[in-house]
Chains A and B, each alone.
Chain A
Amino acid sequence: DVKVTQSSRYLVKRTGEKVFLECVQDMDHENMFWYRQDPGLGLRLIYFSYDVKMKEKGDIPEGYSVSREKKERFSLILESASTNQTSMYLCASSPDRDSPLHFGNGTRLTVT
């Protein structure tokens, strides 16, 4: 079974802090994704990557950046956390364009 592991289940950070959310997948998948999930808004795509060192903006990239130095690891960076970035963050991976996504269990981030 594919395993997507997010490093933290819960995080509490202060406004202005730089925040790193880490995600690792163990199935050699090409594609990796970062979503955020908010009540009433569903999952919204922040960034994705289809290869090492490649990244593409999703629908809501503002205030975020990503890093993919190794195939198995995809990091989401909040350069200067703000309260409106309080959310559930979900990482996912897939082997190719038409395949289902495999999600991690999420990181619930609270910015105070």
Chain B
Amino acid sequence: SQKIEQNSEALNIQEGKTATLTCNYTNYSPAYLQWYRQDPGRGPVFLLLIRENEKEKRKERLKVTFDTTLKQSLFHITASQPADSATYLCALGVNTGFQKLVFGTGTRLLVSP
């Protein structure tokens, strides 16, 4: 069956460290993968998109990798800050002839001062 898995347990790290979040999937062939940030009571906000032919994408303190062999994406936040505390969602872009994103359940990140 098709599945997208993100660690359901919260990730707790100290300020200044690098946070690494994982997104694994099975039985999908995504054309691209997106990462979103969601704060409590708010809608998700787009962060980064990486395509199937790209290995890595960076934006300021954020880095995403995409390994289609391992069927995994890693999302890194370097020099993390308490303001980075939020839930992070991965979403697979599936080729169906129209736009379809399939979301993971998200991982909550808590950055302590």
Contact = CB atoms under 8 A, between A and B. Distances in A.
B46 A31 contact: no
Given A40-B8, A42-B106, A96 B99 contact: yes
B55 interface: no
A103 interface: yes
B105 A101 contact: no
Interface residues of A, number: 27
B104 A50 contact: no
Interface of B: 4, 8, 31-32, 34, 36, 41-46, 49, 89, 91, 93, 98-106
Contacts of B89: 42-43
Interface in A56-85: 56, 58
B87 to A, nearest CB: 10
B93 A98 contact: yes
A40, A48, A103: which has the most chain B beta carbons within 10 Å?
A: A103
